[in-house]
């Protein structure tokens, strides 16, 4: 049975300590001078809370402090953002890491992960694997069952289902994966057309409160990075000074969002301006985890790639060279500047 040995030790230790001690860490290197004249940086992003470091950096003047004029363009999906990146119309994308990206990277897509988005909580994740009452008492009982996951094969949902199944030495081939949108899962569970579902709030709550399902497994991938900030190769190679300051501002923002500061009025205002969430949902929901050191969990990415590849969702069979995927230059520079 595999375990999540790739979880960032830094994230785990930070969370265990309440994250407070990292905020006051002394600087280890001189901060770069603001760019003069300021440089424009265009970002295409999916408006979700996992990109909130960017919202805070924008609204609290961190990009401006470093000589960046950052403009945002909302997109419906990471696929749309990737299209803009390859066309050269944006410099950075805030996207989910899905199977199509791995295939594109293997074919030479010239974009790199330059910073993490929000991470899965170390505990009390809002996403869980639910089972229809009476269908299973443990994960091993799911063999041959119908499991719903939004996006179906190759999706992030499939990855999480696969991680749950690994706990019982099962694979995605041992179940029938069904592509059902999250809002449709409660009705499907009630009708008995599915046996289990991978869902988050409020849909998981609806199924449990109605008495149709119960939680079988949660905290499937503590500390996992499912979304990231990716930059075009052109931006990285031709304007590295702008990329360096962009990631530095994100890291500074992450440190303004730890502990009780997550719900600081200035931060909540930034969240609401750039997402479709409500203040009530933000205050009552499980806080998104942001690593104050903003290190890219490369081992976790490798695990995502492995699962999709072993599930037969990629168009290649050998492990991908992660140098085609990740550029840690800028997160490492931010850490040198801000310290641990």
149-187 tens-digit pLDDT: 988 888 888 999 999 999 999 999 999 999 998 889 999
pLDDT at residue number 3: 44
To 10 degrees, what angle do helices 78-87 and 99-106 make?
30
The Cα 54–Cα 146 span in angstroms is: 38
**Residues 276-286 pLDDT 10s:** 889 998 998 88
pLDDT at residue number 124: 84
DSSP secondary structure, 53-84, as one string: HHHHHHHTTHHHHTTEEEEEEE-SSHHHHHHH
Tally the domains of the chain: 2
- Mean pLDDT, rounded, for 1-29: 49
Please indicate, yes or no, if residue 1 is contained in any of the structural domains: no
b vs e for 160-169, b when ≥16 Cβ sit within 10 Å of the residue's Cβ?
Answer: bbbbbbbbee
Element at 176 (helix H, strand E): strand 176-178
Do 179 and 117 lie in one domain? The reply is no
Last residue of a domain, one of 218, 250, 280: 218
Do 112 and 235 lie in one domain? The reply is yes
- Is the pTM above the cut of 0.75? yes
Confidence of residue 245 (pLDDT cuts 50, 70, 90): very high
Please indicate, yes or no, if residue 99 is contained in any of the structural domains: yes
Do 117 and 229 lie in one domain? The reply is yes
Do 113 and 24 lie in one domain? The reply is yes
Do 108 and 229 lie in one domain? The reply is yes
Please indicate, yes or no, if residue 3 is contained in any of the structural domains: no
| Cα 77 off chain centre by | 14
pLDDT at residue number 120: 87
Last residue of a domain, one of 174, 189, 218: 218
Do 182 and 237 lie in one domain? The reply is no
Do 33 and 88 lie in one domain? The reply is yes
Do 136 and 93 lie in one domain? The reply is no
Chain mean pLDDT for the chain? 90
CATH number of the domain encompassing residue 312: 3.40.190.10
Confidence of residue 28 (pLDDT cuts 50, 70, 90): low
Please indicate, yes or no, if residue 298 is contained in any of the structural domains: yes
What contacts 149, CB < 8 A, 6 or more positions away? 155, 157, 158, 160, 161, 177, 178, 179, 180, 197, 198
Please indicate, yes or no, if residue 2 is contained in any of the structural domains: no
pLDDT at residue number 100: 86
Please indicate, yes or no, if residue 111 is contained in any of the structural domains: yes
- Mean pLDDT, rounded, for 2-23: 47
- Whether 304 has a pLDDT exceeding 70, the answer reads yes
**Residues 65-96 pLDDT 10s:** 999 999 999 998 888 899 999 999 999 999 98
Do 14 and 117 lie in one domain? The reply is yes
The Cα 314–Cα 329 span in angstroms is: 27
Which domain covers residue 200, as residue numbers?
A: 127-218
Do 302 and 229 lie in one domain? The reply is yes
The Cα 65–Cα 63 span in angstroms is: 5
Which segments of 182-294 does DSSP mark as H helices, in order?
185-191, 203-209, 233-238, 240-255, 265-274, 279-284
Please indicate, yes or no, if residue 247 is contained in any of the structural domains: yes
Please indicate, yes or no, if residue 110 is contained in any of the structural domains: yes
Do 159 and 237 lie in one domain? The reply is no
Last residue of a domain, one of 198, 218, 238: 218
Task: Name residue, tokens 């990009």.
Answer: 63
Length of the chain: 340
Do 17 and 91 lie in one domain? The reply is yes
- Beta bridge partners, 231, equal 92, 112
């Amino acid at each position: 049975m595999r375990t999540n040995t790739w979880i960032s030790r830094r994230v785990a230790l930070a969370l265990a300590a309440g994250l407070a001690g990292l905020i006051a860490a002394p600087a280890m290197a001189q901060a770069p001078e603001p760019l003069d004249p300021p440089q424009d940086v265009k970002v295409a992003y999916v408006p979700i809370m996992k990109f909130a470091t960017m919202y805070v950096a924008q609204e609290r003047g961190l990009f401006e402090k470093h000589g960046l004029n950052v403009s945002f363009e909302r997109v419906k999906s990471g696929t749309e953002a990737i299209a803009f990146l390859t066309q050269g119309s944006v410099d950075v994308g805030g996207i989910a890491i899905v199977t199509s990206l791995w295939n594109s990277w293997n074919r030479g897509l010239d974009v790199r992960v330059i910073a993490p988005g929000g991470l899965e909580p170390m505990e009390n994740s809002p996403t869980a694997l639910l089972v229809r009452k009476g269908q299973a008492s443990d994960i091993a009982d799911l063999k041959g069952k119908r499991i719903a996951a939004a996006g179906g094969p190759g999706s992030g949902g499939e990855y999480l289902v696969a991680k749950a199944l690994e706990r019982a030495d099962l694979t995605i081939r041992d179940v029938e994966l069904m592509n059902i949108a999250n809002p449709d899962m409660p009705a499907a569970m009630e009708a008995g057309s599915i046996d289990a579902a991978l869902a988050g709030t409020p849909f998981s709550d609806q199924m449990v409160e109605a008495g149709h399902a119960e939680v079988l497994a949660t905290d499937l991938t503590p500390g996992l990075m499912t979304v990231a900030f990716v930059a075009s190769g052109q931006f990285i190679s031709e304007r590295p000074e702008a990329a360096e300051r962009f990631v530095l501002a994100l890291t500074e923002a992450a440190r303004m969002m730890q502990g009780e500061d997550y719900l600081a009025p200035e931060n909540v205002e930034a969240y609401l301006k750039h997402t479709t969430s409500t203040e009530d949902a933000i205050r009552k929901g499980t806080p998104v985890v942001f690593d104050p050191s903003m290190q890219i969990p490369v081992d976790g990415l490798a695990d995502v790639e492995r699962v999709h590849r072993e599930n037969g969702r990629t168009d290649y069979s050998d492990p991908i060279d992660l140098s085609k995927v990740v550029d840690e230059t800028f997160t490492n520079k931010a850490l040198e500047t801000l310290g641990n």
